[in-house]
């Protein structure tokens, strides 16, 4: 009987091929991505490199239009996990959502303060206009922090305007509609090539910050802890491959960013990947920074604790098991 079962399984393997035969038993896990940016490279690399399937999961990244759509899809159960900004997860938590961050993909602020050619120092922005994407977003938080650190009061000394996404903000500075903005790495690179200047690279100032990470719900973890452990193992292996195989990283970035400019691809890789932690714990200090900033406009944030919206136990279990050490030792 046992031999007959083995023969049947072997016949199915030959009939369908090794991947098709095995993939039939893979649970499908949908991961919502707000956008395709270098900050989501680890998830895409783990999927493309076959590391999720190695751990028995068929992970399918989906592009969802905006963080509110992604959050709604996750809370309704349409997707299991999402990539989400730290600020977005905090606001969802404060609104009553049972959301937690289980991995920190970008634990620094990937922005430059880009200014028009006539601005020589941050103090020169007094009386000027600074563009952000939206009030309460990452660019807004960081613009206010940078201005206040240099003695300028947003709203009094500097006007903060909602100007749109990175492309729109760059265009607004070039056209003179605003005198400064925060741009993510690829757009900051374009700005400098166009003759604008960077007065502050936020990634170099030692600021604890949770730019984005992987979020899910507490109930999903409770009901699917084994699945989540396997997801995290795949993610850790994807990060290892990215950090140690530049050609693979370039390929993933080029394919998903849909950019063929080698200078842009190399710049994105060198900016993001070396800063990606081998074990991508969510940054509690970074979440605390965001909470303190949000507390200026949302009283609920004053009583909230970052520990209530972060769950690092999955990665702690994996690291404690020796899995990460084994991956990085090449065994």
**CATH number for the segment(s) 2-107+209-329:** 3.40.190.10
The pLDDT score that the predictor gives to residue 331 is 57
pLDDT in tens, 55-64: 999 999 998 8
Q: What is the mean pLDDT of the chain?
A: 89
pLDDT in tens, 115-165: 999 999 999 999 999 999 888 888 998 999 999 999 999 999 999 999 988
The pLDDT score that the predictor gives to residue 18 is 38
* Contacts (Cβ under 8 Å, ≥6 apart) of 325: 319
The pLDDT score that the predictor gives to residue 37 is 82
The pLDDT score that the predictor gives to residue 4 is 40
- For residues 209 and 86, give the distance between their C-alpha atoms in angstroms, rounded to a whole number: 8
The pLDDT score that the predictor gives to residue 24 is 52
- In terms of C-beta density within 10 A (0-12 exposed, 13-18 middle, 19 or more buried), how is residue 99 classed? buried
The pLDDT score that the predictor gives to residue 232 is 98
The secondary structure element, H or E, covering residue 99 is: strand 99-106
Every domain range in the chain assigned CATH 3.40.190.10: 2-107+209-329, 111-204
Q: Are 143 and 113 in contact (CB under 8 A)?
A: yes
The pLDDT score that the predictor gives to residue 67 is 81
The pLDDT score that the predictor gives to residue 270 is 95
pTM score > 0.95 for this model? no
User: Which string of DSSP letters, residue by residue, matches 269-317?
Assistant: HHHHGGGS-SS----HHHHHHHHHHHTTT-THHHH--GGGGB--HHHHH
For 111-204, CATH number out of 3.90.650.10, 3.40.190.10, 3.40.50.360, 2.60.40.10 equals 3.40.190.10
What are the residue ranges in the chain where pLDDT is below 70? Answer: 1-24, 331
Helix then strand then coil, % of the chain, to nearest 5: 55, 15, 30
The pLDDT score that the predictor gives to residue 222 is 97
* Contacts (Cβ under 8 Å, ≥6 apart) of 180: 113, 114, 115, 116, 119, 125, 128, 129, 130, 131, 173, 199
């Amino acid at each position: 009987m046992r031999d007959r079962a083995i023969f049947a399984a072997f016949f199915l393997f030959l009939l369908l091929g090794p991947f098709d035969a095995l993939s039939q038993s893979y649970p499908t896990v949908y991961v919502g991505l707000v956008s395709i940016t270098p900050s989501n490279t680890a998830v895409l690399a783990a999927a493309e490199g076959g590391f999720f399937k190695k751990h028995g999961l068929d992970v399918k990244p989906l592009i969802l239009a905006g963080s509110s759509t992604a959050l709604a899809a996750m809370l309704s159960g349409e997707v299991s996990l999402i990539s989400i900004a730290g600020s977005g997860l905090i606001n969802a938590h404060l609104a009553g959502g049972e959301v937690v961050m289980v991995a920190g993909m970008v634990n620094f602020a990937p922005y430059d303060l880009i200014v028009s050619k006539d601005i020589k120092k941050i103090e020169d922005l007094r009386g000027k206009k600074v563009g952000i994407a939206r009030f309460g977003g990452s660019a807004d938080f960081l613009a206010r922090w940078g201005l206040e650190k240099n003695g300028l009061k947003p709203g009094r000394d500097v006007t903060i305007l909602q100007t749109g996404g990175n492309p729109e903000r760059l265009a607004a500075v070039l056209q003179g509609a605003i005198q400064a903005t925060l741009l993510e790495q690829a757009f900051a690179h374009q700005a400098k090539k166009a003759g604008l200047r960077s007065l502050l690279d936020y990634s170099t100032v030692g600021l604890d910050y949770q730019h984005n990470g992987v979020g899910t719900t507490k109930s999903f973890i409770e009901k699917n802890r084994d699945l989540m452990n396997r997801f995290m193992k795949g993610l850790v292996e994807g990060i290892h491959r990215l950090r140690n195989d530049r050609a693979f990283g370039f390929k993933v970035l080029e394919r998903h960013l849909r950019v063929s400019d080698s200078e842009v691809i190399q710049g994105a890789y060198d900016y993001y990947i070396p800063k990606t932690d081998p074990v991508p714990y969510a940054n509690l200090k970074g979440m605390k920074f965001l909470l303190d900033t949000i507390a200026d406009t949302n009283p609920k944030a004053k009583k909230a604790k970052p520990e209530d919206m972060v769950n690092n136990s999955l990665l702690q279990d994996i690291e404690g098991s020796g899995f990460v050490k084994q991956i990085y030792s090449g065994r």
